[in-house]
Amino acid sequence: MTAFDRDTLIQVALTPDDAVRAPADLGDEIHRAVQATAQRRRPFDLSRFNWPARSSPAFVALLLMLLLVLLVGSLILLSRLPSPPSRLTTYHGGPERTGVMPGPGPQGDPVIDWEAQRNGALPFTIMPVVADGRVFVADDSGTTGALDETTGDELWRASVGSPIRASPVLVGGYVIVGSDFGDVVALRATDGAEVWRFSASGRVSASLIAVDQTVYVGSEDGALHALAVASGEEIWSISTGGSINRGPAISDGVIYVGARGGLLSAIDAINRMTLWSVELGDGDVGTPAVAGEAVYVARGIESTTESPHDLVALDVDDGSELWTFASPSGQQVLPGAVGDDLVYAVSEDGNVYALDPGTGAVAWSHATDARIGSLASLVDGVLYVSSTDGTVRALDAATGRLRWSVRLRGEPTMPAVINGRVVVGTTLGQVVAIAGTEDVP
């Protein structure tokens, strides 16, 4: 069959015979049949309520306004619902160690909300951590415990067998602590039951840190250990050239860790390699704080030589020095906290210094008249500082003006600021929660 023949057949099939004629009323019959079919009826006909079938522009505008009112009302209702409690799982606020806390802080005049006594002292290197309505604390008697965040009542306690001098970390439903015997112990957060134990070759006195289900442990055996949170199995370890007794920081997959003898290293956590190392002089290197393009770190800690005891800002890419800040007296300076506009340094000379993050120039200073040995906390424009005279202070972060102060017995740790409270431990073994008069019934 040719293409012409095929086209001819198609044309004949599609051309009706002249004798074939549809009834004149066929269209009307089809319309009546469609109207009588139930499946074709509208499920919701506004005309049944005497509303216009074809809405006018005014009606549409009214309907849209009603919908908008309902939407705004729903948003207001949702905004008034209580938000879930915040979590504070890591020493100095988070993996970057900037001191920025989840907050909020106390509102109104400060009052002691509750106090709880522990078995041993909480030195300045241990900060309480808070999550799920519980405050988790470790002390130098080797005891870890959970307290009710609202009342301070003890929920459980567990001993790991040797003194604890490093702040624990909360991750994966575990409270993980290090000890003087070199053990790293994971305790179940709900009841304190031991889940796993890892043994390093040296004392663990550096605060722990965890990211992506991996906990990083600095040990005085000179190695940084990466452990699986679920099992405690060692994933890798890398030598840092000296014992580690100050906590590491991590940002964008890079771990910044200092070692005794003055070496600060940047380690790629994924590729398990050292990116760069810089010599900062004699003594210990403090816990770094990482923000933006800079890492802030104290050097010369506990040095017996004439090496500087200052704060150094280094480039995160290569460790090159950006600027340094030394206290007028030459006493030790630590990176207290890092905000959006200022870097806050605390010093054993008793002063808090607010520094320009680009140059290190002093924007303001505040004298506490007592030595400051712990790091500071920052939230909602307020800087919280503990000093060795037993005082916790709240300073205006923009000006340094004192907002309030509370005197405690013993030397307080770095403040944990969360859910309307400031929680600190003390060298006398107390855990104290400071609230505001607007927060306490």
Q: Read off the pLDDT of residues 67-123 as tens digits, 9 standing for 90 and up.
A: 776 665 555 544 444 445 589 999 999 999 999 999 999 999 999 999 999 999 999
User: What average pLDDT is seen over the chain?
Assistant: 88
pLDDT tens digits for range 185-220: 999 999 999 999 999 999 999 999 999 999 999 999
DSSP 238: E
pTM of the model: 0.81
What are the beta bridge partners of residue 394? 384, 404
> What's the mean pLDDT in 364-378?
94
CA 49 vs CA 31, 42, 57: distances in Å: 25, 14, 18
pLDDT tens digits for range 393-435: 999 999 999 999 999 999 999 999 999 999 999 999 999 999 9
> How high is the pLDDT of residue 304?
82
3-state secondary structure of 46: helix
CA quadruple 200, 205, 209, 210: dihedral sign: positive
> How high is the pLDDT of residue 439?
74
Domain boundaries, the chain: 91-436
- For residue 317 the two structure tokens come to 């890419």
User: Helix, strand, coil proportions of the chain in percent (round to 5)?
Assistant: 15, 40, 50
> What's the mean pLDDT in 126-141?
96
CB neighbours of residue 282 within 10 Å: 18
Instruction: Give 319's contacts (C-beta < 8 A, 6+ positions apart).
Output: 264, 266, 276, 277, 278
Which fold would CATH assign to domain 91-436?
Answer: Methylamine Dehydrogenase; Chain H (2.130.10)
pLDDT tens digits for range 18-29: 555 555 565 566
pLDDT tens digits for range 7-66: 554 554 555 555 555 555 655 665 565 555 555 444 445 454 454 555 566 666 766 777
